[in-house]
């Protein structure tokens, strides 16, 4: 018994993959376009021959009509797509047809809908006509998600072919959400007096955007509170403030606290903060307050647009309508000098450090040009003008695009500022312990590690020996340069005992040193980012927490209870 699976291609790839897996669990041969070409314009004659030879036709339809082959014997009027021709061929051959349609109201990307095709070359008339005909002519199974579709197809096929019920695949078990999954679009900070206004605004846009509100995050002071704030911000895509006189009072009463909170929000989301003038507040005052705290955009009620409409438009522009379903935040720390620190190193270098700088043959101006106002401005590869931020974003895009090892997830980098370690601010102590214990990426400039202050701060931080830190150090010159490269390796080996052991002795794949090319960096990131992302799922039991629990309970914790005492 052979099943033929028919659908359009590019818009239903994930659905087809799930269905194929489910059907093959039934030990059935399945005819599909994947057998000869994975594209819209597959060979028409081959497709129709396969349909005629099958015992059961399964048709899946969403909102694309599909490729229309040129007029010819198999498509006399030149108006029908391959997908429609396959459906009609099955009917002409007397084959049973099982039809599955995407529900009308199911979430679906607009770029997979003919009626919303931006090129203007495709209308939605053909697919709407075909869907209407299918709904009138068949008992339809409707679906909303690929997993739901796979279950329904397997169940229907098994019932039609009188296969044992046990042969049908079990319903998919939902995977628990990743601890760093981005689950919200906006985290709105507000004063306690504005709690009702914040709730109303969140409810007004709830149909499109997931908004959380907090009246306490701006009061964050202790390390425990800072860790809670960090986890709230890393779960969202952008952060906004509901600007009002009560909020201004909170911001002004402790400027250091306010700056720390706002800097954390900006760093984690890598986006400017959004200001929202509370209804009834003085818009001019709200705007001036926003400028003082580095808020570049302020939304306010106007005669033509309500505040919810303003917020909708702003989020559409900054966050985007098509958010990945499984977007995971990955902590990243860049250890690199600023321009001022580079001037300091170049001006005071002596001994081995001076020998290294001279040995690479890099003019001081050339070295200095690599560093800018912030650490994110560092340009790691002298022959390129891209900053480390641009290099990492490009590399992550490459890891995300093929989707080979991320299992449907997408990485989003969430920067953690090395300045917070240099300042020795105790408020950040638990934050950096958390990412070092549970998984983060550290990219360090080997030349910057020769700077005394940066070297000291890095070695004193949790990043230095963090069990789940993925570490890569980038060399200032070509390893083929010989002596200076060997010398910098010797100096760093003497200072960075733990990373050097991971790299040279333990052969830890999550530790790479002396990288001098972007290609080498990209290759390492492609291999290391998936396991780094998974580190949060592999937290190890904490012996100290287990001991305390044992004392409280008067009994030894079981294996099941051990899951409650993992580090974190």
pLDDT digits (tens, 9 = 90+) for 427-439: 899 999 999 988 8
Lowest mean pLDDT among 28-42, 75-89, 264-278, 390-404: 28-42
- pLDDT surpassing 80 at residue 419: yes
Give yes or no: residues 87 and 33 share one domain.
yes
Give yes or no: residues 223 and 246 share one domain.
yes
Final residue before a domain boundary, out of 318, 351, 377: 318
Q: Based on the structure, what is the number of domains in the chain?
A: 3
What CATH number is attached to the domain comprising 18? 3.40.50.10140
Give yes or no: residues 17 and 145 share one domain.
yes
Structure tokens of 267?
A: 């760093």
DSSP assigned state of 116: G
Nearest CA-CA partner of 414 in 227, 185, 237: 237
What CATH number is attached to the domain comprising 458? 3.40.50
Residue 271 confidence (pLDDT): 87
> Which tens digits make up the pLDDT trace of 137-185?
999 999 999 999 999 998 898 888 876 544 444 555 555 677 888 999 9
Give yes or no: residues 380 and 231 share one domain.
no
Instruction: Describe the crossing of helices 429-438 and 223-233 by its angle, rounded to 10 degrees.
Output: 50
Residue 168 confidence (pLDDT): 47
Q: What is the share, in percent, of the chain residues with pLDDT greater than 70?
A: 85
- pLDDT surpassing 90 at residue 59: yes
Residue 279 confidence (pLDDT): 86
Nearest CA-CA partner of 287 in 278, 277, 279, 274: 277
Give yes or no: residues 7 and 155 share one domain.
yes
Mean pLDDT of the chain, nearest integer: 83
482 vs 356, more confident: 356
Lowest mean pLDDT among 89-93, 191-195, 229-233, 353-357: 353-357
Nearest CA-CA partner of 333 in 519, 430, 462: 462
Give yes or no: residues 224 and 111 share one domain.
no
Angle at 499 between CA 495 and CA 503, to 5 degrees: 125
Give yes or no: residues 266 and 344 share one domain.
no
d(CA 527, CA 524): 5
> Which tens digits make up the pLDDT trace of 248-300?
999 999 999 999 999 999 999 988 899 999 887 776 666 777 788 888 888 98
Give yes or no: residues 11 and 159 share one domain.
yes
Give yes or no: residues 43 and 190 share one domain.
no
Give yes or no: residues 313 and 357 share one domain.
no
Nearest CA-CA partner of 102 in 77, 131, 73: 131
Structure tokens of 254?
A: 């402790």
Final residue before a domain boundary, out of 284, 318, 352: 318
- pLDDT surpassing 70 at residue 549: no
d(CA 411, CA 217): 26
> Which tens digits make up the pLDDT trace of 462-497?
999 987 899 999 988 765 555 666 777 777 878 888
Q: Give the strand pairing for 440-445 and 327-335.
A: parallel
Residue 506 confidence (pLDDT): 86
What CATH number is attached to the domain comprising 303? 3.40.50.2300
CA atoms within 13 A on the CB side of 540: 7
Residue 353 confidence (pLDDT): 74
Tell whether 20 is covered by a domain: yes
Tell whether 386 is covered by a domain: yes
- Mean pLDDT, rounded, for 36-59: 78
pLDDT-based confidence at residue 546 (cuts at 50, 70, 90)? very low
Lowest mean pLDDT among 276-285, 408-417, 452-461: 276-285
Query: Domain of 311?
Result: 186-318
Helix (H, G, I), strand (E, B) or coil at 47: helix
Residue 395 confidence (pLDDT): 87
The runs of H, that is alpha helices, within 237-387 are 245-253, 255-269, 283-292, 307-318, 339-348, 351-359, 364-368
Give yes or no: residues 465 and 416 share one domain.
yes
Give yes or no: residues 244 and 356 share one domain.
no
- Mean pLDDT, rounded, for 198-224: 93
- Mean pLDDT, rounded, for 63-71: 90
């Amino acid at each position: 018994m052979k099943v033929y699976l028919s659908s359009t291609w590019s818009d239903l790839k994930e659905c087809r993959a799930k269905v194929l897996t489910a059907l093959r669990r039934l030990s059935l041969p399945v005819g599909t376009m994947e057998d000869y070409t994975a594209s819209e314009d597959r060979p028409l004659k081959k497709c129709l021959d396969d349909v005629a030879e099958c015992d059961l036709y399964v048709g899946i339809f969403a909102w694309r009509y599909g490729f229309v082959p040129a007029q010819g014997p198999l498509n006399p009027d030149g108006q029908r797509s391959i997908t429609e021709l396959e459906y009609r061929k099955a009917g002409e051959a007397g084959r049973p047809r099982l039809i599955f349609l995407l529900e009308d109201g199911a979430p679906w990307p607009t770029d997979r809908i003919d009626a919303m095709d931006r090129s203007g070359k495709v209308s939605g008339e053909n697919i709407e006509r075909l869907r209407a005909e299918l709904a009138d002519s068949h008992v339809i199974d409707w679906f909303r998600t690929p997993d739901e579709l796979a279950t329904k197809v397997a169940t229907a096929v098994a019932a039609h072919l009188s296969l044992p019920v046990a042969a049908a695949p079990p319903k998919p078990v939902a995977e628990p959400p990743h601890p760093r999954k981005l689950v919200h679009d906006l985290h709105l900070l507000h004063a306690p007096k504005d709690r009702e206004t914040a709730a109303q605004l969140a409810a007004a846009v709830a149909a499109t955007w997931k908004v959380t509100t907090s009246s306490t995050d701006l009061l964050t002071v202790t390390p425990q509170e800072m860790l809670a704030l960090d986890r709230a911000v890393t779960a969202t895509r952008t952060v906004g403030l509901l600007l009002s006189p009560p909020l201004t009072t909170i911001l002004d009463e402790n400027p250091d606290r306010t700056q720390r909170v706002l800097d954390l929000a900006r760093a984690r989301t890598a986006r400017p903060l959004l200001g929202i003038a509370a209804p009834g507040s003085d818009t001019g005052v709200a705007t001036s307050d926003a400028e003082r705290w580095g808020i570049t955009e302020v939304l306010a009620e106007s005669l033509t647009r309500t505040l919810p409409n303003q917020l909708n438009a702003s989020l559409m522009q900054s966050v985007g309508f098509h958010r990945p379903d499984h977007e995971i935040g990955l902590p990243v720390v860049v250890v690199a000098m600023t321009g001022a620190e580079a001037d300091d190193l170049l001006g005071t270098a002596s001994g081995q450090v001076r020998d290294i700088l001279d040995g690479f043959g890099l003019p001081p101006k050339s070295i200095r040009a690599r560093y800018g106002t912030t650490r994110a401005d560092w340009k790691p590869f002298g022959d390129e003008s891209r900053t480390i931020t641009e290099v990492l974003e490009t590399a992550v895009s490459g890891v995300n695009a093929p989707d080979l090892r991320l299992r449907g997830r997408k990485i989003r980098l969430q920067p953690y500022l090395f300045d917070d370690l240099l300042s020795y601010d105790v408020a950040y102590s638990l934050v950096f312990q958390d990412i070092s214990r549970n998984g983060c990426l550290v990219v360090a400039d080997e030349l910057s590690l020769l700077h005394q202050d940066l070297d000291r701060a890095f070695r004193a931080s949790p990043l230095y020996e963090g069990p789940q830190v993925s570490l890569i150090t980038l060399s200032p010159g070509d390893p083929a340069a010989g002596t200076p490269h060997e010398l910098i390796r010797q100096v760093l080996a003497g200072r960075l005992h733990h990373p050097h052991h991971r790299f040279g002795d333990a052969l830890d794949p999550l530790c790479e040193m002396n990288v001098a090319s972007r290609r080498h960096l990209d290759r390492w990131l492609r291999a290391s980012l998936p396991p780094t992302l998974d580190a949060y799922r592999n937290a190890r039991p904490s012996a100290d927490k287990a001991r305390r629990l044992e004392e409280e309970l008067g009994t030894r914790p079981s294996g099941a209870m051990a899951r409650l005492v993992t580090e974190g």
